[in-house]
Amino acid sequence: MIKWFLIFVFGILAFNSRANIVFTRSGERVSIGKKVEVFQPNRELSFDEVVKSGRFVVSAADVPNLGISPNSIWFRFTITNQSESEKLLLEIAYPLLNEVELFTPDSSNHYKSVFMGQVLNFNKRTYKYPNYIFDLDVPKNHTKTYYLRIKGKEQIILPASVNRPATLWQNLNLENLITGIYLGVVIIMVLYNLFIFFSVGDRSYLYYVVYVLFTGLTQIGIKGYTFQYLWPNYPSFEVRSAILFACISGIAALMFAKKFLNTKQLAPKSNIALNILIGLFLVAFTLIVIGRELAGFQIMQVTTTILTITVLSVSFMIMVTSSGSAKYFFIAWSVLLTGAIIFLLKDYGVLPYNNFTSYSMQAASAVEMCLLSFGLADRINILKKEKEIADAESLRVAKENERIIREQNVMLEQKVNERTHELSESNQELNITLEDLKQTQSQLVESEKMASLGQLTAGIAHEINNPINFVTSNVSPLKRDIEIMFSALEEIEKVGMSDSPLAEKQRKIKEYKEELDFDYLTVEINHLLKGIKEGANRTAEIVKGLKLFSRLDEDDLKKADLNEGLESTMVVANNLLNNKIIVIKEYGDLPAVECYPGKLNQVFLNIISNAAYAVQKRFGDNTGGEISITTTSDGENIFIKIKDNGTGMDTEMQRKIFEPFFTTKEVGEGTGLGLSISYNTIKKHNGNITVNSTPGEGTEFILQIPVIFNVKAT
C-alpha cells in the first residue's frame, strides 16, 4: 500500500511539474531534452485542446525518442533568458520529421505558429539549413513558454537545443564540414570503383558502386542535405527518399555480398536467405512507392537489422572456412554495426548526443566503404595468386594465362588512353566554350555601352529639341515682322521725299503707322528676339552639360566636381522623368575628387534610370513619384545618396542586383549589366556601393567614393 501510494504521489508531482530552461550569460548551447514536457495523445488534437488538456510529462532523456506514432506529439518548454542576447535560436537536429510546428507567445500571451517540415518546400524555411531552426525572441530577464508539435512517418526523435546565433552557425559549419568529408569519401569510392568496373567488367564493383552511392544518399538524406540541394521543391519525394534509398542500398549490399563472398557455392543455404531479404526489400520499396510509408519503413528497418546480422554471420563463416578476402567484409560490417549501435544508443539516451555519436553512422559507413574497397583489391590479388599456382602445374596454361594478362593490361592501358584522350578533347571543348563566353560577355558589355549611348542620344534629342523648337517657331513671325518693317521704312521714305507740306507728311506717316499697328509690331519683334535669345542660351547650357557628361571613354584620372557630374547626368536623364517625377536635389559643398569622371557619370545614369523605371512602374502616368539626390562629404570621402519611392526590392533581389545579366526588366528593356558595371566602376575607385530597399516603398543607393584615388588599392 505504501509503495503504491508513493508511486502515485511521485507520478502526480511529475505530471504537474514544469521544467524551466534558464539561458545564462555564459550559455552558448543548452540541450533541452530533459527539460521539455511531452504529451502523446491517442488522436489528433488542436492547439487549444492541447493547452487545456495539461497532460504533459517531463522528459527523462537528453534526446527524447518517442518511436513511431500515427498522431502528432506535443512538447512544451519554458525558457528564462538571463543572457545578454535577446535573440535565441531553437534547433531541432533531426531533418526527417514530416511536420514541425512551433507555437510562440506574443506580448499579450496569444500564440502564433511557425510551420516547417518535410511536407513543405525547403525554400520556405526562414533559415536555409537541413535542421529546423526557429527564432526565440525572449527579452533579457523574461520567461516564455512555447509549444511544439511534431509528426513523422518514421521514428520520432527530438535532439533539441537553445543556442546563441553565432554558436549555432559555428556548429552547423562544423556539421557541414563533416558531411562534406563523408561525401568526398563516397564520391572517391564511387568514381574509383566505377572506373575499375568499366576496366575489368567485374559485377562486384558495380554492386559495390550502387551500394556506396545509395548508402551515401541515405546518410546525407538523413541529415537533410539531399532535400536542401537536390530536390528542395519536391517535399512529397523527400518524405520517402531516405527509405527508398535505404531499400536500394540494402538490395545492392546483398547482391554485392552474394557476388563477393560467392555464397552460391560456399554457402548455398545462406544464399537463399539473402535472396529472401532481397525480396523483403523489394516489398518495402513497393509499399513506399504506393504511399504506405509507415509499413514500408517498418519492413525496411526490420530487414536491415536481419541483413546486418545475417551478412556478418555469413562473412565470418566464410572467412573461417574458405576465403581470405572475407576478413575485409567481416571487419567492414563489424565497423558498420558498431557505428549503428552507437547511433541507436544515442537515440535511446544511453550515450550522450554529440558530434561523435551523431556522426558515428557516417564515420562507420565511410570506414566500411574503404575496407570493402580494400577487400575488392585483395580479392583481385588472391585470384592472381590462384592463377599463378594453376600456371605452375602446366606450362601451357601458364603461357595462356600470361597471354591473357598481357591482353588485359593492353586493354586496360588502351581504355586509360582513350579516357585520357576523351578528357583532353573535353578540356579543349571547355576552353573553346570559355573563350566564346568571354567574347559574348565582351559583346554584352559593348551592348550595354551602346544602350547607354542610345539613352544619351535620346536625352540630347529631348533636351535640345524644346529650345530649338522655340527658336525655329519664332523665326517665321520675326521674318514676317521685319519684312513689314522694311515695307514701312520704304513707305515712310517715300512720304518724306514727296513735295507735300510737312503737316501733310506727318499726317500720312501717322495714319500709315496706325494702319500697321506699329507699336504692337515693335513689341512683338522684341518679344520674338528675346525668345530666340533664351532658346540659344538654353541650348548652350545643355551643350555645356553634355560636354561634362560625355566622357565615357576617358582613361586619365582627373579632378572633378561630382555635383557637376550629377547635374550633367540629369540633363541626359531628364527625358526619363516624363514631367511626372519630381527630382529633389540637396547638393553639399564637395571637394574636387580624383576620379574617372565619365565612368562615374555612367554610374549615376544607370542608377537614376533604374530609379525612374521603378517609379514609373509603381505610379504609371499618375503623379507622386519622387527621386532625391543628396551629396555630402566628410573630407576623406564623398557620399552620394540616390533614393526613389518606386516598387522597391525584396532581400533576395537585393543580393542579386549586382550580378551580371540579372535584371527585372522585360526582355529587350535591359541587359542586366548596368548595375554590375556600376559596381565594378565604384570598386575601381576604391569606393563602396550599398543598397537599402523595402518592397512597395522604394530603394536607396549609397555611393561612397574616396576623395583621393589610391593607386595601390587597385
3-state helix, strand, coil in the chain (%, to 5): 60, 15, 25
pLDDT tens digits along 338-372 = 877 776 676 566 676 666 776 777 777 778 777 77
- What is d(CA 696, CA 475) in angstroms, rounded to the nearest whole number? 49
Q: For residue range 625-650, what is the model confidence (pLDDT) as tens digits? A: 999 999 999 989 999 999 999 989 99
pLDDT value of residue 668: 52
Q: What is the pLDDT of residue 12?
A: 38
- What single string gives the DSSP state of each residue in 122-182? GGGSSS-SSSEEEEEE--TT-EEEEEEEEE-SS-EE--EEEE-HHHHHHHHHHHHHHHHHH
**Phi, psi of 384, rounded to the nearest 5 degrees:** -65, -40
Euclidean distance between CA atoms 469 and 256, whole angstroms: 88
Q: Which of 246, 261, 381, 243 is nearest to 330 (CA)?
A: 261
d(Cα 95, Cα 130) in Å, to the nearest integer? 6
Residue whose C-alpha is closest to residue 310's, from 330, 287, 324 = 330
Whether residue 583 has pLDDT greater than 80: yes
What proportion of the chain, given as a percentage, has pLDDT over 70?
Answer: 80
pLDDT tops 70 at residue 402: yes
527621386: which residue's cell? 627
pLDDT interval class at 457 (50, 70, 90): low
- Which amino acid, 271? N
- Residue carrying the nine cell digits 528593356: 669
Number of Cβ atoms within 10 Å of the Cβ of 278? 19
**Phi, psi angles (nearest 5°) of residue 105:** -80, 145
Nearest to 559 by CA among 412, 665, 708: 708
- The pLDDT of residue 408 is 81
pTM for this structure?
0.50
Pair type for strands 20-23 and 73-81: parallel
What's the average model confidence in pLDDT over 575-590?
86
Angle at 622 between CA 617 and CA 626, to 5 degrees: 70
Chain centre to alpha carbon of residue 435: 28
Quote the Cα angle for 182-187-192, to 5°: 130
Return mean pLDDT, the chain. 80
Instruction: For residues 416-442, give the mean pLDDT.
Output: 76
Full DSSP string of 36-97: -EEE--SS---HHHHHHH---EE--SSS-EEE--SS-EEEEEEEEE-SS-SEEEEEE--TT-
Predicted local confidence at residue 248, as pLDDT: 93
What are residue 288's phi and psi, to 5 degrees?
A: -65, -40
Question: Taking 90 as the threshold, does the pLDDT of residue 53 lie above it?
Answer: no
pLDDT at 21 over 90: no
As a whole number of Å, the CA-based R_g of the chain is: 41
Q: Identify the residue with better confidence: 461 or 91.
A: 91
AA identity, residue 345: L
β-bridge partners, 643: 628, 700
Angle between helices 360-393 and 165-200 (to 10 degrees): 20
Identity of residue 525: I
The pLDDT score that the predictor gives to residue 552 is: 43
